[in-house]
Amino acid sequence: MIPKIVKGSKMVGLVVYLAGPGKANEHENPHIVAGHNAVVLRAPTGELTHADAIDIAHEIDTPRVVFGTEVLATNRKQMNAAIDDGVPRSVALADATHDINVWHCSLSLNPEEGELSDEKWGAIATDFMKEMGFDDPDDPRSPARWVAIRHGKTKRGGDHIHIAASVVREDGTKVNLRRDHKRVQTTANLLEHRYGLTVLMSREEERGTRGLEPAELETTRRSGAVEPVRHSLERAVRAAATASKSEAEFVRRLRADKLLVRPRYDKGSAGAVIGYSVAATPSAAERANGGKPVWYGGGRLSKDLTLPRLRDEWDTSADANAAAAAEWSAARKKASVTRGNGRERAGFDPALYARAAADMETWNAYLASVPASDRAQWARASGRAAGVFAAWSARIEPTPGPLAAASASLAQSAQIPAHSRGDGAGARMTSAAGAALIVLQATTTDPTAATALLLHQMMRTLDAIAAAHRASGEAQRAAQLVAVRERHLDALHARLSNPMTAATAFELHPIAARIQKAREEVEAGSQTLRGKQSVAIAADVAGVDVGSDSSRRPRVGSRKDLNHER
């Protein structure tokens, strides 16, 4: 169930629209399914008329009118933009301050969920407004008036309702709207479980405890994308961070993956980088329509992806810091990407799956010695394990699948308060880094027992982290991890363990298959490829330097680039 909030100041206009024909006569049989007692008792049954809508709006708005309460809010972005344009601060503040006494929230289902009865929608709306603090019989505060109207399906064919509510309570006080965008997501998840609705997994297994903004959910739904761009960016950053031995390598990997990267400098020092932002490169179609990159800071992707947290895992010697500064400068200037040592150039050898499995087995042996009470070490282990799953997902899964789901859930376990992090450094996390490097180079699934063995070791890591949560009294978090394994990884492991299904365990994207073939042709010295781009693409996969500008060649085998081609 997708909630969407819009705030305004014209109750009559909103209710008249909801009860009217719509912008393109798409509204059908607008009628009330629930509401505040004072509204429902006086409202007519059946289809609403224009006059009915006006009466309902006035009924909802009565407390605000009687008490003269204003609900003022300032749009800080609008104000700051005006100040930057030279508008006096007092004028900019006044222009950016608006009355938002009307709270409008739609609740929409996916078309595949079918239609609910009026009675069920009424119960959902009533519980929703109770959980949001507008109208709770158990709350000593006076309720706020509201109405839920149903008028057919969305443009995409999904069943939905609209809630129009006053932000002014019946005693003239105001409803607390603080963090309401976050709270509606939590409430929607609660009601999905309570009423047997389809559970939105991107919200259920929320990445790094960073909730999605309504605009992100709406953009994802409108574009038909398989997931919000923030989630794919998080996996790409996490994979690059886990596979990298240094900050400079991290920056190069992000840029080689065709991500836009920019550093954030400390204003109080001479060029010290204290943070970073990443964005997906807009497609040609997006650029033609005026689309611009949407930037996300590392901490916005996930709390454990801030630059200070990532530096805990890397070499911070003077030479390493100097190399990092040079790479950040190159990123800021949009200079060509220069690959580093053989780690970044090596092609993939399927036999390395066995090496990755051995690395993970060594790491699991180390984790068995870590006390459950050492929250810092287990959080680091969770983040590194999430990075290995993310790296494998990025190279193997055409669309986010079991590996991406495991990465998302483990990333949530990596979130701990700053004061609980400890010194961060530890020598035994390198095994996970080695495994991440190997799977990040993969372009297909090796149909041998080594692949299944690697997944088995990674599942052992997940189980160990779940056990640590359980021993620390965090039973719910442990259960969530176990559920992810049972729901996503067990079946995948069974397919990989079966010689008849191992080769097709991941439905390899046709473009990825073409890339793998090109790689094999170049390695064999075939001359069947034609054109500079084909040669450059195949050579890049094989790790062959043909003297071209690597920043202009697509990073083949990357699931992100494959998605952009669709």
Same domain, 494 and 515: no
CA distances from 239 to 247, 395, 463, 531 (A): 13, 10, 21, 32
Q: Is 115 inside a domain boundary?
A: yes
- In the structure, what pLDDT confidence band is assigned to residue 548 with cuts at 50, 70 and 90? very low
Least confident range of 121-130, 479-488, 527-536: 527-536
Same domain, 281 and 267: yes
Choosing from 199, 219, 251, the residue where a domain stops is 199
Q: What is the pLDDT of residues 330-375, one digit of tens each?
A: 999 988 887 666 566 655 566 677 888 888 899 899 999 999 989 8
Phi, psi of 103 (to 5 degrees): -115, 115
Same domain, 337 and 364: no
Helix axis angle, 247-256 to 229-243, nearest 10°: 140
What pLDDT, on a 0 to 100 scale, did the predictor assign at position 30? 94
Q: What is the pLDDT of residues 279-301, one digit of tens each?
A: 998 888 878 888 788 899 999 99
Choosing from 199, 214, 239, the residue where a domain stops is 199
Q: Is 210 inside a domain boundary?
A: no
Choosing from 199, 216, 251, the residue where a domain stops is 199
Nearest to 5 by CA among 113, 203, 167, 139: 167
- In the structure, what pLDDT confidence band is assigned to residue 390 with cuts at 50, 70 and 90? very high
User: What percentage of the chain reaches a pLDDT higher than 90?
Assistant: 43
Q: Is 171 inside a domain boundary?
A: yes
- In the structure, what pLDDT confidence band is assigned to residue 328 with cuts at 50, 70 and 90? very high
Two tokens at 4? 């969407």
Same domain, 299 and 310: yes
Q: Is 204 inside a domain boundary?
A: no
Q: Compute the mean pLDDT over every residue in the chain, rounded to the nearest whole number.
A: 80
Two tokens at 512? 């990825």
Q: What is the pLDDT of residues 62-98, one digit of tens each?
A: 999 999 999 999 888 899 988 988 889 999 999 999 9
Q: What is the pLDDT of residues 188-232, one digit of tens each?
A: 988 988 888 877 755 654 434 456 676 777 777 777 777 888 999
- In the structure, what pLDDT confidence band is assigned to residue 153 with cuts at 50, 70 and 90? confident
What pLDDT, on a 0 to 100 scale, did the predictor assign at position 533? 33
Q: Is 218 inside a domain boundary?
A: no
What pLDDT, on a 0 to 100 scale, did the predictor assign at position 110? 82
Q: Which one is predicted more confidently, 548 or 411?
A: 411
CA distances from 176 to 44, 132, 166, 183, 275 (A): 30, 9, 12, 11, 33
CB 95 within 8 A of CB 141: no
Q: Is 372 inside a domain boundary?
A: yes
Residue ranges with strand state E in 20-120:
31-35, 72-74, 97-99, 102-108
Per the structure, the complete domain to which residue 120 belongs is given by 2-199
Same domain, 29 and 165: yes
Same domain, 40 and 165: yes
Interval 535-563 mean pLDDT: 30
- CATH number at 150 reads 3.30.930
Domain count, the chain: 4
Same domain, 163 and 237: no
Same domain, 561 and 450: no
Q: What is the pLDDT of residues 416-458, one digit of tens each?
A: 765 455 554 444 556 677 777 776 666 555 556 788 888 999 9
Same domain, 496 and 516: no
Two tokens at 19? 């009860």
Q: Is 236 inside a domain boundary?
A: yes
Q: What is the pLDDT of residues 216-272, one digit of tens each?
A: 777 777 777 778 889 999 999 999 999 898 999 999 999 998 999 999 998 766 678
Rounded CA Rg of the chain: 27
Q: Is 117 inside a domain boundary?
A: yes
Same domain, 419 and 316: no
Same domain, 171 and 289: no
Q: Which one is predicted more confidently, 527 or 184?
A: 184
Same domain, 282 and 309: yes
